[in-house]
């Protein structure tokens, strides 16, 4: 029989009064030690009595004592629950117990989450980065596809999924990425991951060795990528970025792994020029390096002529193409992928098996159907129009209103744009004013490794309407005109 | 405007016939190089003509040439698609391109997935391990909760989730695990992971250092746990297991991290005795070690008196309790958790941020509701009855039918039982016969590190009915009686 409490009770037979007190004391200890937590529903006294072979009144007496002391709350027509007060006392007990053992931890690497502001602090419509629009997403279609996938699962039985992803999703991603981004691949080359971040972690785990630990990263660049590399033992070689993207000539010698965002550099937004793309592939050939191509925001391009992906230009099986559905669909989906050269595929699948076995099969089924049925292509096409309008409003806002303070960095893709400060000394003033009038915008230097990165500001337009951008920029301008002191 | 093909076309103006041939050749090249993959839908000729500024007949001619050559398949009333034949040619081209670079990979660790048989090879009802029953799962309720969570998301907008998990799920897990397993915790102590496997990987990433790399694992024990430790740089110290679980006296000196499955040792099924539990905590205190308690299958206990978890007995903040919903709900859910001591919490959340940012928020919301509304407790209670019946049938089957060949290892929990061979020389014969008559059962030595592990066989009862177990055991017995040669 199932035990009535999840711990042992010791109630020697000796008069109902003594038993009630024993029970009361042992339950109270369980609450104080956290074996029964605040909000836990206690079993009915009738069940307690039967299970423990005691009188029901004895159980009622024990409960009454707990209620009298405030450990347990009675509820009308429902079983009593453990009270919050107990929780607070417990917190103290636990803190006392917790020996400081921070020196126990591996601090050869650290990560600082929270580059972007946590939800709840910014207004829902803001200039925050990296978050896509949800208003035009076909929620009802997605709900239907998820329900279909769950029904399929209910019919077929439970199963562990393949570490590399389910075949239908790998096939759908291969077709999508081949068509949308001209990436040369088929289903076998695709490994499904939990977003781009896991893709970085898997590649780091299998590519970095003691002998090959110098990893080039863009400066400024995406911090979480750097954390993933460092956690796997990398030594970072921050490499500067200009208006043509990563400055290939500045790559130090001996770099064996190069991380790059060619479509839309993160965070400056510039595209890696064709000249640089060829130079980078040439560097890789000469130094026997591999390239991790993060096609960050690559779905949303506004120019007529997208440049070929590095993966497309590569004739030497050196490029790992990393894609994600975080921006083209939504972050909670947690789905990204690697298009890997054949020589490395098996090893990356192994890494995926080791870090979390496989990704959620039901969501994979729904996503495969969403792509296959054309919803993704349609949605991206629609959103490209929506974002293009916002981008135009942002360019106009920056160029018309803020021309005295900043200079826009040209960008043809993505969901954000960056601008550099004309005068370094304005930086603090502009950032303070922006915090008030364009909330969510962040300093470019948040992404910097070295102090050489020119300061600037990055505006996202994923969750702000085109019509709100101009007025916000006007307010920002007025604040800047009033000058430093009044802000 | 959105480009009509995802790559550049070069069509100098020079007579419609030449343009048609240029277009045909460039599309064919795109197909051969994998920039257009099998199954990709080509744009309508009308759209191609408008986008490229050519006559529609020119586009039709180019398509007709591709169709004539078999690169493209026409479809009645639908746009043509890229054919499979192209895919096969592409495969050749890609293989030729792929330089062998296996020596590029970090082979300081390897993992061999596929300990259990992949789906599709075993019949749906079998003795396979680690898979729970799906027949009694409240699929409709789960579908409703997922749909509710998706509706909530549609209303609130997209967001990145917290790396440690959403508060409502951490709260629900704390209450569940405190009540069901007497684990002393509250919501702050809980970190949501993608199953137990990710929990192991996160703990390995933050606990193993150069100076602290000796990690004790049970022998026999769960191989994927060993892979996760090795991938983070561990040196393994396999430690034998007997009928009381991990033999604490056999832990070598200098072990700083001890991985153990106390409820139901994986794979032998034995419980760690209370004496050993105390000895293990004492060892940890004396050697300043930490313990990773994998409460594998802990939800399904059949005895009246579950032993307290190590986490419950620990007074010294040394135990990391790892739980999963893989068996109590289903593996595709990909949800597990760590109950961590306060000193290590922040570091583990950092590790989670680095490896995949956060887990799927929608599924977390649905799971929180499933637990909070009592469905989990109800379902586990029901399944305990179902599994108990199967377990009884398995014990009877082994003891009545197979007593001449094997001896059951007593186990009070979980979804499988193990038996040791009475004579080592029978091993091959029994395993061959079992492959035929009790498909899914696996050799105990599949889990072994050293050669000292006594051979045996493990039978799962997650996906087989009680009524099927006896007849299968009878068949196995008859095969064994006929002896070695006839099998």
pLDDT tens digits, B114-160: 544 455 567 889 999 889 999 999 999 999 999 999 999 999 999 89
CA-based nearest residue in chain B for residue A197 = B356
Q: Kindly report the nearest CA distance between residue A437 and chain B, in angstroms.
A: 22
Using an 8 Å CB-CB cutoff, list chain A residues near B198: 355-356
Q: Kindly report the nearest CA distance between residue B160 and chain A, in angstroms.
A: 6
pLDDT beyond 70 at B1: no
The two beta strands, A190-193 and A336-339, are antiparallel
The predicted-structure confidence for B428-446, as pLDDT tens digits, reads as follows: 999 999 988 999 999 999 8
Name the more confident of A2 and B15.
B15
Q: Is A247 helix (H, G, I), strand (E, B) or coil?
A: coil
**Would you state the pLDDT for residue B109?**
79
Interface probe for B, chosen from A95, A105, A107, A376 (most Cβ of B below 10 Å), is A105
Using an 8 Å CB-CB cutoff, list chain A residues near B193: 356
Residue pair A213/A363 in contact (Cβ under 8 Å)? The answer is no
Output DSSP code: residue B5.
S
Interface probe for A, chosen from B96, B334, B364 (most Cβ of A below 10 Å), is B334
Using an 8 Å CB-CB cutoff, list chain B residues near A160: 116, 119, 130-131, 331
Using an 8 Å CB-CB cutoff, list chain B residues near A39: 171, 175
**Would you state the pLDDT for residue B457?**
96
Are A197 and B331 within 8 A, CB to CB? Answer: no
Contacts from A277-281 at CB under 8 Å and sequence distance 24+? A277/A307, A277/A308, A277/A310, A277/A313, A278/A313, A279/A248, A279/A249, A280/A246, A280/A248, A280/A310, A281/A310, A281/A313, A281/A314, A281/A316, A281/A318, A281/A319
Are A159 and B384 within 8 A, CB to CB? Answer: no
When mean pLDDT is compared across B57-66, B107-116, B248-257, the lowest value belongs to B107-116
Q: Kindly report the nearest CA distance between residue B487 and chain A, in angstroms.
A: 30
| Alpha-carbon distances of A176 from A133, A364, B42, B82, rounded to whole Å | 21, 15, 12, 13
The predicted-structure confidence for B372-412, as pLDDT tens digits, reads as follows: 999 999 999 999 999 999 999 999 999 999 999 999 999 88
Helix B223-231 with B195-207: angle, nearest 10 deg: 30
**Would you state the pLDDT for residue A99?**
52
As for the ipTM of the complex, it is 0.83
Q: How many CA atoms lie within 13 A of A377 on its CB side?
A: 23
Determine the average pLDDT of the residues in B66-95. Answer: 69
Nearest to B353 among A113, A208, A315 (CB): A113
Name the more confident of A365 and B52.
A365
Are B159 and A33 within 8 A, CB to CB? Answer: no
Are B384 and A2 within 8 A, CB to CB? Answer: yes
Helix A223-231 with A195-207: angle, nearest 10 deg: 30
Nearest to A158 among B198, B330, B353 (CB): B330
Any bridge partners for residue A218, and if so which?
Answer: A239
Interface probe for A, chosen from B157, B188, B385, B465 (most Cβ of A below 10 Å), is B157
| Alpha-carbon distances of A154 from A359, B391, B415, rounded to whole Å | 18, 24, 20
Are A91 and B35 within 8 A, CB to CB? Answer: no
CA-based nearest residue in chain A for residue B5 = A179
Using an 8 Å CB-CB cutoff, list chain B residues near A211: none
The predicted model scores a pTM of 0.84
Distance CA(A432)–CA(A444), nearest Å, equals 14
Which backbone phi and psi does A413 adopt, to 5 degrees?
-145, 170
Any bridge partners for residue A458, and if so which?
Answer: A418, A442
Question: Mean pLDDT over all residues of chain B?
Answer: 88
Distance CA(B199)–CA(A365), nearest Å, equals 25
Distance CA(A278)–CA(A315), nearest Å, equals 11
Nearest to A207 among B7, B106, B179 (CB): B106
Of all residues in chain B, the percent with pLDDT exceeding 90 is 61
Any bridge partners for residue B215, and if so which?
Answer: B236, B257
Name the more confident of B58 and B113.
B58
**Would you state the pLDDT for residue A115?**
47
Low-confidence ranges of chain A (pLDDT < 50): 1, 88-89, 92-93, 96, 98, 115-117, 486-487
Are A154 and B134 within 8 A, CB to CB? Answer: yes
Q: Kindly report the nearest CA distance between residue A70 and chain B, in angstroms.
A: 19
The two beta strands, A235-242 and A245-246, are antiparallel
Using an 8 Å CB-CB cutoff, list chain A residues near B97: 315-317
Q: Kindly report the nearest CA distance between residue A182 and chain B, in angstroms.
A: 5
Whose tokens are 């637990």? That residue is B371
The rounded radius of gyration (Å) of the Cα atoms in chain B is 29
**Would you state the pLDDT for residue B19?**
85
Using an 8 Å CB-CB cutoff, list chain A residues near B351: 111, 231
Are B304 and A1 within 8 A, CB to CB? Answer: yes
Using an 8 Å CB-CB cutoff, list chain A residues near B231: 205, 351, 354-355
Distance CA(A232)–CA(A214), nearest Å, equals 11
pLDDT beyond 90 at B463: yes
């Amino acid at each position: 029989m199932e035990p009535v409490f999840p711990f042992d009770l010791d109630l020697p037979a000796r008069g109902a009064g003594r038993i009630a007190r024993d029970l009361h004391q042992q339950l109270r200890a369980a609450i104080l030690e956290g074996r029964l937590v605040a909000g836990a529903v206690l079993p009915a006294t009738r069940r307690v009595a039967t299970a423990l072979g005691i009188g029901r009144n004895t159980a009622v007496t024990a409960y009454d004592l707990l209620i009298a002391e405030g450990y347990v709350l009675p509820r009308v027509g429902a079983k009593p629950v453990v009270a919050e007060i107990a929780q607070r006392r417990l917190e103290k007990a636990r803190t006392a117990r917790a020996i400081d053992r921070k020196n126990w931890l591996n601090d050869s690497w650290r990560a600082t989450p929270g580059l972007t502001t946590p939800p709840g602090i910014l207004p829902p419509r803001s200039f925050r980065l990296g978050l896509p629009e949800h208003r035009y997403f076909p929620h009802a279609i997605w709900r239907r596809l998820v329900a279909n996938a769950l029904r399929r699962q209910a019919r077929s039985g439970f199963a562990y999924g393949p570490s590399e992803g389910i075949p239908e999703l790998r096939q759908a991603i291969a077709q999508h990425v081949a068509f949308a981004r001209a990436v040369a691949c088929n289903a076998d080359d695709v490994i499904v991951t939990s977003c781009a971040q896991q893709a970085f972690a898997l590649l780091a785990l299998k590519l970095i060795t003691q002998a090959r630990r110098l990893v080039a990263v863009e400066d400024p660049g995406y911090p979480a990528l750097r954390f993933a590399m460092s956690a796997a033992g990398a030594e970072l070689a921050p490499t500067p970025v200009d208006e043509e993207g990563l400055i290939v000539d500045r790559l130090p010698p001996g770099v064996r792994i190069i991380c790059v965002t060619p479509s839309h550099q993160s965070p400056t937004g510039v595209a890696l020029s064709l000249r640089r793309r060829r130079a980078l592939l040439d560097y890789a050939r000469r130094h026997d390096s591999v390239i991790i191509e993060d096609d960050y925001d690559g779905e949303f391009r506004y120019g007529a002529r997208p440049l070929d992906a590095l993966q497309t230009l590569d004739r030497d099986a050196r490029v790992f193409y990393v894609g994600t559905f975080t921006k083209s669909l939504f972050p909670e989906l947690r789905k990204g992928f690697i298009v890997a050269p054949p020589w490395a595929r098996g090893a990356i699948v192994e890494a995926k098996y080791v870090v979390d076995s496989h990704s959620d099969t039901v969501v994979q089924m729904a996503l495969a159907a969403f792509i296959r049925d054309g919803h993704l292509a349609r949605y991206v096409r629609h959103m490209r129009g929506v974002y293009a309008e916002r981008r135009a409003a942002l360019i106009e806002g920056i160029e018309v209103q803020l021309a005295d303070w900043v200079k826009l960095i040209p960008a043809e893709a993505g969901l954000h744009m960056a601008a550099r400060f004309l005068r370094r000394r304005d930086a603090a003033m502009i950032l303070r004013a922006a915090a008030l009038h364009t909330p969510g915008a962040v300093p470019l230097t948040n992404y910097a490794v070295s102090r050489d990165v020119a300061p600037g500001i990055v505006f996202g337009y994923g969750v702000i309407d085109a019509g709100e951008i101009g007025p916000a920029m006007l307010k920002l301008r007025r604040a800047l005109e009033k000058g430093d002191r009044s802000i």
